[in-house]
């Protein structure tokens, strides 16, 4: 796995870049947000994700780790492939998309070109419990929250995933900074244990 590449920015346009490091030129697909962050720079550090697609490797680059982490979550949604995910992130910032997911704003998500109402619903369903808004994390960037860990722990105790998700969503509203221990305690109270 290549975590990041640091080197000379040889080529940059709104959909891809070429970064030269150690005599090799790395071509990466990028989002518009990454493009905007790198404009005017001669050197850059690009966080990468290596994707196998149609029997070839695609290297996808991001200006920040939080955007890359959001991308990783987005491509796990059924029907969202690597190229669609990059197209989506080129139309709307990942921070706005994250906010829409957490707020359940299907209308805004389905307004993105290439995303219909059905896919917007899937995105909300799949990502809501994996994201949390936090003003203390790089300007509201998505983080893998303690809610995911709590969900795994509660599932290990034998609770049904659908019920766990429902309870964790009710706990999460307005309480983004709870510790893992607090989340599990509150969930167990709501689950009746």
Q: Are residues 90 and 129 in the same domain?
A: yes
What CATH number corresponds to the domain at position 8?
2.40.50.140
CATH of the domain at 166: 1.10.8
- For 13-66, what is each residue's pLDDT tens digit? 999 999 999 999 999 999 999 999 999 999 999 999 998 878 889 899 999 999
Task: Please tell me the pTM assigned to this model.
Answer: 0.67
Provide the domain count of the chain. 3
Residue 160, domain extent = 146-191
In a shared domain, residues 10 and 59: yes
Domain end residue (candidates: 103, 127, 143): 143
CATH number of the domain that residue 80 is part of: 1.10.150.20
Same domain, yes or no: 11 and 52: yes
d(CA 35, CA 155) in angstroms, rounded, equals: 40
């Amino acid at each position: 796995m290549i975590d990041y590449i640091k080197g000379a920015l040889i080529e940059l346009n709104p959909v891809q870049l070429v970064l030269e490091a150690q005599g090799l030129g790395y071509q990466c697909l990028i989002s518009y947000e990454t493009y905007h962050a790198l404009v005017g720079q001669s050197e850059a550090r690009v966080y990468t994700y290596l994707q196998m697609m149609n029997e070839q490797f695609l290297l996808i680059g991001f200006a920040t780790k939080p955007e890359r982490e959001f991308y990783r979550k987005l491509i796990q949604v059924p029907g969202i492939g690597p190229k669609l995910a990059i197209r989506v992130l080129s139309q709307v910032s990942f921070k706005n998309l994250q906010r829409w997911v957490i707020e359940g704003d299907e209308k805004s998500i389905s307004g993105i070109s290439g995303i219909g109402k059905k896919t917007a619903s899937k995105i909300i369903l799949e990502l809501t419990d994996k994201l949390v808004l936090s003003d203390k994390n790089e300007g509201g960037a998505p983080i893998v929250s303690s809610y995911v860990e709590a969900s795994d722990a509660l599932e290990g105790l034998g609770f049904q995933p659908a019920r766990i998700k429902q309870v964790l969503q009710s706990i999460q509203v307005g309480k983004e900074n709870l510790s893992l221990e607090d989340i599990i305690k509150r969930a167990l109270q709501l689950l009746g244990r």
